[in-house]
């Protein structure tokens, strides 16, 4: 088993937009997805440089009424933009607020930093946007100020950072539990987003130190070679060879996992949260081929045109994840997938998953353990042949368990056992 964990360095905000008021936010979401905000940022930076009054302040992204956290120095290289966990622990306050960047600061490096992680998702419950906190005012500030509260748009109070999780040699259900279980056991709230290429866990910025300690307690060690944490159960990793150890990660007790599962079920019962099983919807988890997003080529234009069509008339389920401006993943139904040229998409066109959704709008915002609790429901089985292979999509106020089409019947049995 090879588990590699990499922390990103950009503070993210989560916004829940009721579907009825999506049209008011559509323009900002299109700008986010297409990256046109970068041109706006460049123009704003040029204006502010011209108007600089000697105070050393840049006003372009100041956040009137919306929280904007400190940002890391954008002079760092791409490799350095990923948080070295040990470095975070020792230097948690070294970041440079965007409002104090010098005039000479490279705006292109800033743009690179701010496209580290972007997710736009639609469920039957909401439109969810995850984007750099520093872009919230630029893209949505006016709309939030004018109609946000009357239309019940919610900006999650915590700011988050993304953790990339690569798990080789595990079934997909276990991969959800690999990182979510120890973090949930530590009482750390998380969001989990599966993409075609990797899984991503979002953790609160304020909990970064505890995330580090939790990973270290699970026998993860830092590798300077890959600039990430690697489980020392991976005997072939360079970090393992350097330490000369052959140790396995301690497995969590079944009692503890059952406790998280029961806690989640009790929470759902208290707030009347029931699974929404959609047997008629079949989704594909896919991604764009490498190099497709190179600016200016025909394939890039085709992909972006398809994204625009989808965002102008979104289906019940859709998720778009953009990593570092170049890696793009989709969760789409078969009809929506047909909007993309088939040769540009990766994966099997028939490898379907089916959604089981949970509406979390009634739950306290600080609820924890939901991801691992739900994953435990589907990973528990009386017989090995009934194991359910899942992926997972967290949106701002929805949890969506993505069940392999072949396992959907067993998934329904798992839900029945959990809710007799």
Q: How many domains does the chain divide into?
A: 1
pLDDT at 232: 59
Q: What is the DSSP letter of 249?
A: P
Let me know if residue 194 belongs to a domain: yes
Let me know if residue 339 belongs to a domain: no
Average pLDDT on 261-266 reads 93
pLDDT at 330: 97
Let me know if residue 309 belongs to a domain: no
Average pLDDT on 53-71 reads 47
> Considering only 19-23, 102-106, 336-340, 345-349, which range has the smallest mean pLDDT?
102-106
Q: Are 62 and 99 in contact (CB under 8 A)?
A: yes
SS3 call for 320: strand
In angstroms, how far apart are the furthest CA atoms of the chain?
71
pLDDT at 3: 81
The pLDDT of residue 236 is above 50: no
Q: Binning pLDDT at 50, 70 and 90, where does residue 243 land? A: very low
Q: Are 227 and 221 in contact (CB under 8 A)?
A: no
pTM over 0.85: no
**CATH at residue 157:** 3.30.2130.10
Domain residues for the domain of 105 are 2-243
pLDDT at 205: 96
Higher pLDDT, 92 or 323: 323
β-sheet bridge partners, residue 200: 164, 193
Burial (CB count within 10 angstroms: exposed 0-12, middle 13-18, buried 19+), residue 392: buried
Strands 390-394 and 327-333, by their bridges, are unpaired
Percent of the chain with pLDDT over 70: 75
The pLDDT of residue 124 is above 80: yes
> Token pair 């800033």 is at which residue?
110
Q: What is the pLDDT of residues 279-315, one digit of tens each?
A: 899 999 999 988 777 666 788 889 999 999 999 999 9
Let me know if residue 237 belongs to a domain: yes
Let me know if residue 36 belongs to a domain: yes
Torsion on CA atoms 70, 76, 78, 80, rounded to nearest 10? -80
C-alpha–C-alpha distance, residues 210 and 346, integer Å: 36
Q: What is the pLDDT of residues 142-166, one digit of tens each?
A: 999 999 989 999 999 999 999 999 8
Let me know if residue 262 belongs to a domain: no
Q: Binning pLDDT at 50, 70 and 90, where does residue 96 land? A: very low
Average pLDDT of the chain, as a whole number: 81
Q: Which helix (H) or strand (E) holds 139?
A: helix 136-143
> Token pair 């009347």 is at which residue?
272
SS3 call for 204: strand
C-alpha–C-alpha distance, residues 208 and 383, integer Å: 38
Give the N- to C-terminal CA distance of the chain in Å, as an integer: 35
Q: Are 353 and 405 in contact (CB under 8 A)?
A: yes
Let me know if residue 372 belongs to a domain: no
Let me know if residue 156 belongs to a domain: yes
pLDDT at 295: 61
Q: What is the pLDDT of residues 350-370, one digit of tens each?
A: 999 999 999 999 999 889 999
Query: Which distant-in-sequence residues (6+ apart) come within 8 Å of 88 by Cβ?
Result: 7, 208, 209, 212
The pLDDT of residue 81 is above 50: no
Q: Are 403 and 390 in contact (CB under 8 A)?
A: yes
pLDDT at 245: 37
């Amino acid at each position: 088993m090879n588990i590699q964990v990499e922390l990103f360095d950009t503070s993210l905000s989560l916004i829940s937009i009721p579907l009825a008021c999506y049209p008011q936010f559509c323009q900002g979401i299109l700008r986010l997805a297409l990256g046109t905000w970068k041109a706006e940022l460049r123009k704003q930076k040029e204006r502010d440089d011209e108007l600089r009054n000697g105070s050393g302040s840049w006003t372009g992204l100041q956040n009137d009424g919306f929280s904007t956290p400190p940002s890391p120095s954008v002079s760092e290289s791409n490799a350095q933009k990923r948080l070295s966990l040990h470095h975070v622990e020792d230097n948690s306050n070294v970041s440079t607020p965007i409002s104090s960047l010098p005039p000479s600061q490279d705006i292109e490096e800033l743009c690179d930093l701010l496209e580290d992680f972007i997710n736009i998702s639609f469920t039957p419950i909401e439109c969810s946007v995850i984007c750099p906190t520093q872009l919230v005012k630029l893209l949505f500030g006016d709309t939030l100020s004018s109609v946000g509260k009357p239309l019940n748009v919610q900006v999650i109070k915590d700011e988050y950072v993304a953790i990339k999780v690569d798990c080789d040699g595990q079934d997909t259900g276990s991969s959800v539990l690999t990182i979510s279980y120890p973090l949930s056991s530590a009482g750390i709230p998380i969001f989990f987003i599966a993409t075609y290429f990797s899984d991503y866990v979002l953790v609160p910025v304020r909990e970064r130190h505890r995330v580090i300690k939790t990973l270290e307690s699970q026998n993860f060690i830092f590798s300077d070679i890959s600039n990430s944490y690697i489980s020392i159960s991976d005997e072939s990793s360079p970090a393992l060879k350097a330490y000369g150890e052959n140790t396995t990660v301690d497995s969590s007790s079944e009692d503890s996992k059952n406790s998280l599962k029961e806690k989640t079920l009790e929470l759902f019962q208290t707030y009347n949260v029931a699974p929404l099983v959609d047997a008629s919807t079949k989704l594909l988890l896919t991604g764009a081929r490498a190099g497709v997003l190179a600016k200016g080529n025909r394939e890039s234009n085709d992909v972006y045109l398809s994204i625009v069509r989808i965002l102008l008339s979104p289906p019940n389920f859709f998720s778009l994840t953009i990593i570092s401006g170049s890696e793009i993943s989709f969760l789409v139904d078969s009809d929506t997938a047909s909007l993309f040229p088939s040769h540009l998409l990766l994966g099997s066109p028939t490898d379907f998953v089916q959604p089981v959704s949970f509406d979390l709008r009634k739950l306290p915002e600080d609820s924890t353990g939901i991801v691992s609790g739900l994953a435990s429901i589907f990973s528990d089985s009386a017989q090995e042949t009934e194991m359910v292979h899942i992926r997972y999509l967290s949106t701002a106020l929805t949890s969506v368990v993505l069940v392999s089409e072949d396992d959907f019947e067993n998934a329904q049995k798992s839900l029945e056992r959990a809710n007799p």
